[in-house]
């Protein structure tokens, strides 16, 4: 069975922010390259989600199927099972993950 990728609305909003920033700062050509890198990463982790790194903050809470992979300086945070891969966040590696996660879980972001 082929696993299906799902990107949650919050992650889509994160992605739009990244797109806007990259296009404004670096232009359309750079965005095209970055966008392709994100697409390639999603395909790769959908096929083999264990390629990602465990997220200690979540593993310690019993959420072992949550992983992350990097695309440039952006963490792609996802969970998976046998049927689907769900992308929860796109977050810059320098941002405070815990604070961002708490805001997302509380519906504030």
Whole-number Cα distances in Å, 72 to 22, 33, 88, 99: 12, 11, 18, 21
pLDDT in tens, 50-75: 999 998 877 777 777 899 999 999 99
Residue-wise pLDDT for 32-49, tens only, equals 999 999 999 999 999 999
Q: Which domain holds residue 46?
A: 4-105
This prediction has a pTM of: 0.87
Domain count, the chain: 1
Q: Per the structure block, which two tokens stand in for 25?
A: 């700062």
Q: Where residue 37 sits, what CATH number does that domain have?
A: 3.30.2310.20
Under a CB-based contact definition with an 8 Å cutoff, are residues 91 and 74 in contact? yes
Beta bridge partners of 71: 74
67: CB partners within 8 A, 6+ apart:
45, 49, 50, 51, 52, 53, 54, 55, 77, 78, 79, 80
């Amino acid at each position: 069975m082929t696993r299906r990728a799902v990107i949650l609305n919050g992650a889509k909003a994160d992605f739009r922010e990244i797109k806007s920033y990259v296009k404004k700062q670096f232009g359309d050509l750079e965005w095209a390259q970055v966008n392709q890198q994100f697409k390639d990463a999603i395909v790769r982790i959908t096929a083999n989600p264990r390629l990602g790194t465990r997220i200690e903050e979540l593993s310690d809470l019993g959420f072992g199927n949550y992983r992350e992979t990097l695309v440039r300086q952006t963490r792609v945070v996802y969970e998976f099972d046998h049927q689907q891969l769900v992308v929860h966040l796109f977050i810059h590696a320098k941002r405070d993950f815990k604070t961002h996660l708490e805001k997302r879980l509380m519906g504030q972001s």
